[in-house]
Structure 1
Amino acid sequence: MQTRMKWKEVDPAAYTAMSALQTYVRNSSLDKQLVQLVEVRASQINGCAFCLDMHAFEARRLGETEQRLYTLAGWREAPFFTEKERAALALTEAVTLVAGTQVPDDVYEAAARHFSEKELVELILLIVTINGWNRIVVTTRTLPLERGA
């Protein structure tokens, strides 16, 4: 696979705009490990190798366990996730697949039970942001960095 375009070089202002959303997410009140779980899960759904690599690496740096990362795609059947994390992951999947889900009321209501309205705004922006990055990176075929063995 080869990179199609180095989009950051072609239009630095576009990268700056996306980075502003990322800065908002990074500075939100959401738990940093939860942020990484959401970013990894959306990236799994979207098949974004670059973001999977980046966010799994960051999750491990923040203390996330390998077991939880390995079972993240099957979080519904894995006993390692809290109810709050499950609500965030369900919302992540519904928003990521919005064309088919229309974000069902029960999914939104479960998230609303675990997050304040402000936190819900932050969570929704987090999901929107990682989906934006995924779509840009998959489209331009931005490759993951070689980290070695």
Structure 2
Amino acid sequence: MNSPRLPWFKIAPKAYQAMIGVNTAIAGHSLGERLYQIVQTRVSQLNGCAFCLDMHVRDLRQADESWQRINSIATWREVGFYDERERAALNWAESLTRLVEDHGDRDAAFAQLQAVFNEQEIVDLSVAIAQINAWNRLGVGMRLPVAEKAMV
């Protein structure tokens, strides 16, 4: 296990509290917990954040998500395990996470969202994606360790 680079949350407690404040603000999101956790997991996979990936997979298991669906999040396009809303959300999450790689037109991804989400849900989803990207960058940058423990 790697050790953390810096205890950033102690060094910058105001910034940490602001991050927690955003989490609190989006806690009452309109997405449903399972969809929210699927998106959090996918973004954490894309960003290679071991700490957040471990946390969100555990949250999915606590929500009784199947191992097959969890294991297939990275390959969601190739399997039929995800419904239309989940697919639109995962596509949007990838688009907003891979900004440099996907500098093209996001209109198609947004239209896919509009077909299955209302405006509040689209905003909630977009803020949630932005927030997990921020957490991932801190997790990777500060090398937050993952404790080895049993997974149910």
With the shorter chain as reference, the TM-score category is over 0.9
1:96 aligns to 2:114 (yes or no): no
Q: What is aligned with 1:134?
A: 136
One-letter amino acid of the counterpart of residue 18, structure 1: M
CA separation in 1, counterparts of 2:107 and 2:116?
A: 15
Shift of 1:20: 1.1
Q: What is aligned with 1:77?
A: 78
Q: What is aligned with 1:61?
A: 62
One-letter amino acid of the counterpart of residue 74, structure 2: A
Give the paired residue count: 149
Identity of aligned residues (%): 39
Shift of 1:10: 1.0
TM-score (normalizing by structure 1):
0.95
Shift of 1:67: 0.5
Shift of 1:148: 3.9
Q: What is aligned with 2:112?
A: 110
CA separation in 1, counterparts of 2:77 and 2:87?
A: 8
CA separation in 1, counterparts of 2:23 and 2:64?
A: 21
CA separation in 2, counterparts of 1:106 and 1:148?
A: 41
TM-score (normalizing by structure 2):
0.94
- Extract unaligned runs of 5+ from structure 1: none
1:121 aligns to 2:123 (yes or no): yes
Shift of 1:11: 1.4
Shift of 1:145: 2.6
CA separation in 1, counterparts of 2:25 and 2:60?
A: 18
Local SS of the residue matching 1:129:
helix
Question: For 1:39-91, what per-residue CA distance to the aligned partner results, in whole angstroms no more than 9, with x for missing partners?
Answer: 00000000000000000001110111110000110000111100110000000
- Extract unaligned runs of 5+ from structure 2: none
Local SS of the residue matching 1:30:
coil
One-letter amino acid of the counterpart of residue 123, structure 2: V
CA separation in 1, counterparts of 2:25 and 2:81?
A: 28
Shift of 1:101: 1.4
Q: What is aligned with 1:11?
A: 12
